[in-house]
Amino acid sequence: MMLEPLQYGLGALSGGLVGFTLGLFGGGGSILAVPLMVYLVGVPSAHMAIGTSAFAVAANAFTNLIGHARLGNVKWRCAGIYSIAGIAGAFVGSTFGKMIDGEKLLILFALLMLVVGALMFRARGAQGNPGAQCSRGNIHKVAGFGSMTGVFSGFFGIGGGFLIVPGLIASTNMPILYAIGSSLVAVTAFGLTTALNYAFSGYVDWLLAIIFIVGGTFGGFAGSALARHLSARKGTLNSLFATLIFVVAAYMLYRSLGPVSHA
């Protein structure tokens, strides 16, 4: 698939926006990747947008993971268990996602965004336990949440960090900053699993993905730096980001359902 030069430029801009939000909110930025690919860059195929964004988000998440690891924000045991449990789920989810009509997939994606926005509002003030770890007492919860978020991640072609962060908090009661850092391990693993499954069917534009990744790398560094300075105001930031999710979801539903209403 070949796009216009302007579209590739918009791909770099979109990558920067996703990378910035990934660095600031963990995996939250990945939910914006598919809408940006479809509505801003103008990728004509929803499946192509999903496959390409899955690979790009995985790469950007890995870049952000390095920064969070250096700051000690990653609970490696929890991240590893969560990721291993979710990889199989991501493969299953992405396999079913390729079977669904692209427009219907975008509508389902928008509905999921509304649910996630509501969950982010509910968890905006959570503090958590800094000493939280994965143990025999909670490993089943960590693996269970990992499997389910893996399925959603694969089905919608997203990194899934916006689901992984609350999943890690719910299963371990760790603070949101540790959940953000740890989520990036799973975002990388889920994204690569989904991207490889879509690539097998020819649904990845590698040039666009690389351009998206480059933009995301610069945006990610800026987002991570800002996250350190604004960590005390996470509740406010999460509320603002949840509002953005609602707006994007409403726009997606308008674009997807609008033509039907005039038929």
Domain boundaries, the chain: 5-261
Backbone angles phi, psi at 36, to 5 degrees: -65, -40
Label residues 21-44 b or e (16+ Cβ within 10 Å = b): bbbbbbbbbbbbbbbbbbbebebe
Q: Is the pLDDT of residue 131 over 70?
A: no
- Which of 114, 106, 123 is closest to 164 using CA atoms? 123
Per-residue model confidence (pLDDT) at position 216 = 85
pTM for this predicted structure: 0.74
Average pLDDT over residues 227-239: 67
Per-residue model confidence (pLDDT) at position 260 = 45
Per-residue model confidence (pLDDT) at position 263 = 37
Per-residue model confidence (pLDDT) at position 173 = 80
Tens of pLDDT, residue by residue over 177-217, are 788 888 888 888 888 988 998 899 888 999 999 999 999 88
DSSP characters for 125-192? Answer: T----TT----TTTHHHHHHHHHHHHHHHHHHTS--HHHHHHHHHHHH---HHHHHHHHHHHHHHHHH
What crossing angle do the helices spanning 176-200 and 46-70 adopt, rounded to 10°?
140
Average pLDDT over residues 227-234: 67
More confident residue, 25 or 97: 97
Q: Is the pLDDT of residue 29 over 70?
A: no
Per-residue model confidence (pLDDT) at position 159 = 62
Tens of pLDDT, residue by residue over 216-225, are 888 878 887 7
- Which of 43, 11, 61, 24 is closest to 191 using CA atoms? 61
> Lowest mean pLDDT: which of 72-81, 82-91, 230-239, 244-253?
230-239
Q: Is the pLDDT of residue 74 over 60?
A: yes
How far CA 1 is from CA of 5, 45, 94, 202, 208, in Å, comes to 13, 10, 21, 10, 9
Q: What is the mean pLDDT of the chain?
A: 80
Neighbours of 97 (CB within 10 A): 28
Q: Is the pLDDT of residue 48 over 70?
A: yes
Average pLDDT over residues 68-80: 88
Average pLDDT over residues 93-122: 81
